[in-house]
């Protein structure tokens, strides 16, 4: 009898160890899910006045296919589940602000651990696909590799800061309003757009076939922990799944430089912000002539 009572007490303690911590997690997840639904409803019911542009409309006019968008996300707002939120926390803890260790903080506007790349829209006509209002953002997410309308993605974002890195082809002067691109520049842009469309279609389809969404958060956890312990070179998971996808898109579309088999796997999101001319490591290399222009803040909210 004493033995049975002891086993019963042990089982009760084990159950308590599982149930008690799950209560605050369940409350948080319910709150995050409701918050996401409220945001979706807000965007869905937003009043759009014809011929009147919102701030987001004006900001996406600065975007072109190939541009990279970085997110300083609020991990507690993650409505994709506890594992995805924990992956976000580890990413910010281990993959952001490496220069703090050297006494220098290179990224002043946030801790960026998620990224996406702007790709042409799904339209038959080339000009329609490149219209800013039709552009898509390709990302690796807990829902798989997805391409969502850029405007909607920005409106739905609850990130602290959203940063745009404009991509310029060799000889292109994007900041010059009177600039007329040469035929060579137009050809390079056309090749870039075709490459991004092919990459988009291939990876979205493969993501669905391979059920990538279920593995996204786990890959993020493994990548962050591998980087923190110095084992990223031996890990089969990318350090940052979102940075891996963006770097792969740039390389396969002809803009990124593929230095090794590990180039995309070892890339972190904040590597996009470091100039390779001044940093030998932890930077994203582009082909000769290609370059990222100065970052543009698309959205910045309160730091909480």
**Domain boundaries of the chain, sorted by first residue:** 1-46, 53-300
pLDDT at position 51: 63
Measured CA distances, 35 to 40, 78, 234, 285, 303 (Å) = 9, 10, 39, 38, 18
> Quick one: pLDDT at residue 32?
73
Give the C-alpha separation, 213 to 135, whole Å. 23
pLDDT (0 to 100) of residue 28: 64
The three-point CA angle 198-202-205 to 5° equals 140
Query: Looking at residue 179, what is its pLDDT?
Result: 79
Q: What is the dihedral of CA 93, 96, 101, 104, to 10 degrees?
A: -140
pLDDT at 113: 94
138 phi and psi angles, rounded to 5 deg: -90, 125
Q: Residue-wise pLDDT tens for the chain (304 aa)?
A: 556 556 555 545 544 444 445 667 667 666 777 777 877 777 777 777 666 667 777 888 889 999 999 999 999 888 888 889 989 999 999 998 755 444 334 445 678 999 999 999 988 787 788 888 899 999 999 999 999 999 999 999 989 999 999 999 998 888 887 778 889 989 999 999 999 999 999 999 999 999 999 999 999 999 999 999 999 888 888 999 999 999 999 999 999 999 888 999 999 999 999 888 787 788 999 999 999 999 999 988 755 5
**Whole-angstrom Cα distance, residue 142 to residue 213?**
4
pLDDT at 207: 96
């Amino acid at each position: 009898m004493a033995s049975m009572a002891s086993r019963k007490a042990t089982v009760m303690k084990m159950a308590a160890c599982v149930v008690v911590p799950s209560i605050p997690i369940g409350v948080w997840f319910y709150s995050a899910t409701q918050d996401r639904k409220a945001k979706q409803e807000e965007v869905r019911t937003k009043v759009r006045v014809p011929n009147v542009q919102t701030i987001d409309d004006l900001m996406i006019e600065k975007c072109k296919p190939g541009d990279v968008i970085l997110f300083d996300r609020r991990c507690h707002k993650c409505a994709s589940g506890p594992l995805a939120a924990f992956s976000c926390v580890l990413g910010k803890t281990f993959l952001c602000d490496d220069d703090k260790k050297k006494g220098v903080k290179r990224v002043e506007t946030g801790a960026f651990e998620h990224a996406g790349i702007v790709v042409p829209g799904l339209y038959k006509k080339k000009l329609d696909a490149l219209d800013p209002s039709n552009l898509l953002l390709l990302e690796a997410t807990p829902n798989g590799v997805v391409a969502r309308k850029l405007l909607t993605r920005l409106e739905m974002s609850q990130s602290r800061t959203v940063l745009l890195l404009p991509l310029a082809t060799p000889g292109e002067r994007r900041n010059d309003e009177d600039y007329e691109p040469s035929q060579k520049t137009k050809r390079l842009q056309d090749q870039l757009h075709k490459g991004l469309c092919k990459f988009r279609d291939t990876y979205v389809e493969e993501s669905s076939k391979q059920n990538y969404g279920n593995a996204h958060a786990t890959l993020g956890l493994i990548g962050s922990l591998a980087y923190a312990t110095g084992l990223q070179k031996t890990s089969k998971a990318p350090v940052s799944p979102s940075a891996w996808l963006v770097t792969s898109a740039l390389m396969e579309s002809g803009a990124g430089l593929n230095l090794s088999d590990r180039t995309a796997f070892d890339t972190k999101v904040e590597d996009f912000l470091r100039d390779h001319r001044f940093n030998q490591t932890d930077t994203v290399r582009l082909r000769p002539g290609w370059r990222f222009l100065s970052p543009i803040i698309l959205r910045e909210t309160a730091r909480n």
